[in-house]
Structure 1
Amino acid sequence: MTNDISPGRRLRNAWTAGPVALPGVFNPLVARMAERLGFSAVYLSGGALSAGSGVPDIGLLTLSEFVQAAQLTAQATALPLLCDADTGFGEALNVERTVRLFETAGVAGIHLEDQEMPKRCGHLSGKSVVAPEVMAAKIRAAVAAKKDRDFVIIARTDAKGVHGFDDAVARAKRYLDAGADGIFPEAMESREEFEQFAKAVPNAVLLANMTEFGKSPLLDVTTLGQMGYRMVLFPLTAFRVAMKAAENTLREILTNGTQQASVPGMQTRAELYDLLGYTGYEARDRAYFGS
């Protein structure tokens, strides 16, 4: 049964079966929706989590805030959840605790990045990266800390935008040698760079980030899979669409005094209750009272 298989193993099975799209889920109910629609894994983005908390993605949220969101999301779906863990919330010894808390929360794995603090969105300029040996130490700590051998550790490198393509490749190989299960090369700037990176780091589990309005072209899952990428992130796609819809609806209420024009685009009460499993809660409540 699925529940007998660890979240990490389910994520590994998903990417082994073919390139897997990981939609960013900005709350637990969206994770359940993704499961209903047929996705095989989901993703918790630090950028979406920060934005939803009203702060920019520069490392302001704490480990506890990340883990709480991860736990609530993992509890809402049977899908394996990959989580953004920023820079690991400290140095190598801090990374040990980071891994233990995320694993206890029920997630499938995390990705760690090699930026210096304060970190920045991967598609903005002004980033800086730690020395590769510092990141390699974090990876070794992460691998040593996990209890489930299938818990996934992905190493993200932001070096391409700082020191160039060749340094990103060299770091990827070093991080794999340190025990990373896969590599996330951030902010590739063309289809050709995605292809070249996959060829330069062969036989590795690679993750591509298809965030909008960034430096990378928006390539489809099939195309990236043919290059050799096993996971494809859509970290803020649903979040951005939802925020724009909320803005338009609020503007309509402010301007017209009614939400009437927005009703056809809404999730209905029946659809919401079905997604929540509302009738199941009512039935169990009646049963507990013996009626």
Structure 2
Amino acid sequence: MQQLAEVFALDIAAYAVMSNHYHLVLYIDKKSADKWSLTEIITRWEKLFRVPCLALRYLKGDSLDRCELEKLTEVAAVWRERLTDISWFMRCLNESIARQANAEDGCSGRFWEGRFKSQALLDEKALAACMAYVDLNPIRANIADTPETSNYTSIQLRICSAISGEQPQGLLPFVGDERLNMPKGLPFQLSHYLELVDWSGRCLDPRKRGAIAENAPPILERLGISPRHWLYLNRNFESRFRGLVGSVEAVRKACNLLNKRWAQGVRDCQQLLSSP
């Protein structure tokens, strides 16, 4: 995942690798991709696929005539678009996993049950809820007791790095609350998010199902989500939402941009993710 993210214009915000599936929260960095030079596009694409001789000649510094350069630029524009496409990212990731698994099992044919599912996270509330849902997968499945013992998750990696006062390489960093001239990153404070996930994990303990702790982290107040709604989201985020996720205002705005008249799950967005 991290190797592919370095090639694509995508950053990993959260992940959880389970025994028979995995979850990813990705950020599409189209602004960075738009600044790539022709050389950088070809170099990145070459790490994934074979490139035509015309591209190899360009990388070697050979002279290209006007028609050749126009053709190469046209092809590179397609590659740039694909390197910002989650579908292409998932294609590369799933295909490599399928090949390795089939080689280990000595078989061939389809490895994955079906195509991946995706949801667009439209605001801070949806982002925080989805990230926590992903990070708490092992706890909900009762295969880990705490976030720091949740193997193969981004939360474990973040906690291990936080002990040294750092943020891990290969993950989109936390950069604090939204403000002017905000750098690229997650719009929360790392300490607040870790506290939120730890609190949520304790409340989601299968042996204490339904318990609502009173000492909810203050980040929930800033997001405007009640503790009870938050814990419901941590258990049911994937099953309750389809496609667009966020406040009703954010969903309606996205529908207008996409020329959609209606979005599935908008009632849950109204109840769980919209300001009272």
For Structure 1 versus Structure 2, the TM-score category normalised by the shorter chain is under 0.3
Taking structure 2 as the reference length, the TM-score comes to: 0.23
Structure having the larger proportion of residues in strand: 1
